[in-house]
Amino acid sequence: MKNIYYLLIASFLFTNCKSVYITPTGNFNESKAAAAPDYSKSFYWAALPTKADEADKTPKGVTDEQANAKVDVFFMHPTIYTGQKGDDQWNGPVNDPALNKRVDESTIRFQASIFNGVGKVYAPRYRQAHINAYYIQDKEMAKSVFDLAYLDLKNAFQYYLDNYNNGRPIIIASHSQGTTHSRRLVKEFFDGTELQKQFVAGYLVGIPVLKDEFENIPVCQTPAETGCFTSWRTFESGFTPKSYTSDKVAVTNPLTWTTDDTAVGKSQNKGAILRKINKVYDELCSAKVVPESGILWADKPKFFGSFLLKDPNYHIADFNFYYMNVRENAHERAAAFLAK
């Protein structure tokens, strides 16, 4: 996971993620953190159905359906905060225009937009943990950094429930650091609570999620199942990382929406999105669940410049590679939920 966000070629091919990072100076100090977001103000939302934003973008051939959607999507974006020289903050400031622009033009445009075909998209800005919080030796400090980030997302979700939801069905979607936090959020707000009745499904992608992560929310086993979650982490076929692997980790095939280990060819890939949101790459790559490792294998995709793609960790493209399949599946699950 560590390298893929920062390789220049991955940054060029998939999104606008920064290619280098600078570790903050000193230890975490909450008093140095930027002020907490005020979610009553639209500025602190990267995406809202009531404003024009990057989650409204669509690939060629599909339309933004948020205006008439009967479902809500709460999206938690991955790590974009990579620091800058002289920075002593371990949590990204939500009032930084440059950081917000990078969030919007990468993950909101290329990931959150997947769900505008099925629901009204809500994506809060939050004081995201610096990428190096995943790797520092001081685990207590790392926990404090992530706790601050989660506090923002928890507050954002509560504000959303109190002011926007009005009892509508909810899809939870997240990637990477977003999934670090969505695991906590789903446990706290949905797992075994009254709100679980509104839970359509979870797309908790890019971070290991255990099969038994939740007491009352199982791993999805069919394309139209609801009240369940999906999860996957993508690597080049034949490669198994040395860490973050376990047969206890949930892994879903985003081409079939099952968890069996049948290899599925790229002919079932209905479209990937790489550098440009309006260009769809049909049949870009395959997918195969590797249950003993809890990962997903994809044959190396072929596109202009793909010979430069040397890293077998396709983390940054977990959603991109299967963009149209995820978009279609979210619609299928929502329709099944609404039909009950």
Is 125 within the bounds of a domain?
yes
Q: 15 lies in a domain?
A: no
Residue 2: inside a domain: no
264-268: long-range contacts, CB 8 A cutoff, minimum separation 24: 264/288, 266/299, 268/325
How many folded domains does the chain comprise? Answer: 1
Q: Is residue 17 part of a domain?
A: no
| Measured distance CA(68)–CA(71) in Å, rounded | 9
Q: Within 13 Å and on the Cβ side, how many CA atoms surround 308?
A: 11
Q: What does the alpha-carbon distance between residue 229 and residue 173 come to, in Å, rounded to a whole number?
A: 10
Q: What is the pLDDT of residues 105-143, one digit of tens each?
A: 999 999 999 999 999 999 999 999 999 999 999 999 999
Structure tokens at 68: 């008439």
Bridge partners, residue 45, by sequence = 124
pTM of the model: 0.94
Asked whether residue 5 is assigned to any structural domain, the reply reads: no
CA 104 to CA 54: how far, in whole Å?
6
Question: In Å, how far are 50, 77, 174, 238 from 153, measured between CA atoms?
Answer: 19, 10, 12, 36
Q: Is 279 left (phi over 0), alpha (psi -120 to 50) or beta?
A: beta
pLDDT at res. 20: 64
pLDDT of residue 120: 98
Residue 202 lies in a domain: yes
Whole-number pLDDT of residue 291: 97
Q: Structure tokens of 168?
A: 């509508």
Asked if residue 106 lies in contact with residue 51, where contact means CB atoms within 8 angstroms, the answer is no
Tokens for 213, please give them: 């992560």
Task: Report how far residue 17's alpha carbon sits from residue 148's, in angstroms, rounded to the nearest whole number.
Answer: 22
Considering the domain boundaries, does residue 8 fall inside one? no
Query: What pLDDT was estimated at residue 131?
Result: 94
Instruction: List the domain range (segments joined by +) for residue 101.
Output: 22-339
**Token pair 């140095």 in the structure block, residue:** 32
Residue 30: its pLDDT value, please?
Answer: 87
- φ, ψ for residue 69 (rounded to 5)? -65, 145
Q: Is residue 246 a part of any domain in this protein?
A: yes
* pLDDT average per 10 residues of sequence, the chain (340 residues): 37 44 86 92 98 97 97 98 84 95 97 98 98 94 97 98 98 98 98 98 98 98 98 98 94 98 98 94 97 97 87 96 98 97
Looking at residue 17, what is its pLDDT?
39
